[in-house]
Structure 1
Amino acid sequence: MPPAPANLLAGLPPSLPEEMLSEILSRPDLRIERIVSTGHASPPGFWYDQPWDEWVLVLAGAARLRLADEAEDRALTPGDHVLLPAGTRHRVAWTSPDEPTVWLAVHCPPRRDG
């Protein structure tokens, strides 16, 4: 029998000392996470550089994402999503300190063409 329905926007704390990461689903080649940020950003000089693809969707709040090869941050609001192919250096430049920013992140192997 399937588990009871859950809501990704339920139980959001107004503030957190660190980002809250909750695994929603995990399989050998797939991981889905809910990430809650309350004013969090990547540490100065830190860049994610992952060997897997990551698709992120902002469900609530607001954020700015910086890609290493772009001069400007990408502003994200609810409904905005971005595919970060494996090896795309990126960082969270800012998340709203006034309300929780809720991300849905899907991690999967990079696409293999040919």
Structure 2
Amino acid sequence: MHRSANLLSALPDDLATEIFQDIVSAATVRIERIVSKGHTSPGSGWYDQDEHEWVMVVEGRATLAFEDGSTCDLSAGDYVNIPAHVKHRVAWTDPDQITVWLAVFYQ
């Protein structure tokens, strides 16, 4: 059975916290929609994942920071591939509009 959906539909009205929603989950890949509005990663640490992450901003704007001091500004259509164990964090998302991310985690 085929089921279609739209990444930009059913966006939450209340974004007191960032929203993480699995779209597809399998043994070697997970696809997730993330919805942010002014959210950043917790100040206490870095993401250090066992899997690779390909992430794209579908709508909005954001900045990723990496442990090596580099940053990556992203806006609609921009994507980046983050290898496993490359420490990173979300340094900024636009506080004035929703940022919708598509994240693909893979082995």
The residue number in structure 1 matching 2:58 is 59
The residue number in structure 2 matching 1:69 is 68
User: Which entry has the higher C-alpha Rg, 1 or 2?
Assistant: 1
CA deviations on 1:46-104 (whole Å, 9 max, x unpaired) are 10011110000000000000011134x21100011000000100000010111110000
> Any gaps of 5 or more consecutive residues in structure 1?
110-114
Residue 14 of structure 1 deviates from its aligned partner by 4.7
| TM-score normalised over the length of structure 1 | 0.89
| Higher normalized strand content (fraction of residues) | 2
Q: 1:1-114, aligned counterparts within 5 Å?
A: 1-3=1-3, 5-71=4-70, 73-109=71-107
Against the structure 1 CA distance between its residues 59 and 42, is the aligned structure 2 distance closer, same or farther, given a 3 Å change threshold?
A: same
Q: Is contact 1:37-1:101 (8 Å) kept?
A: yes
After superposing on structure 2, the runs of 4+ consecutive aligned residues of structure 1 that deviate more than 4 Å are none
Aligned mates of 1:15, 1:75 — CA distance in 2:
25
RMSD of aligned Cα (Å)? 1.1
CA deviations on 1:12-48 (whole Å, 9 max, x unpaired) are 2355111111111011111000000011001213100
Aligned residues: 107
> Any gaps of 5 or more consecutive residues in structure 2?
none
The percent identity for this pair of structures is: 50
| TM-score normalised over the length of structure 2 | 0.94
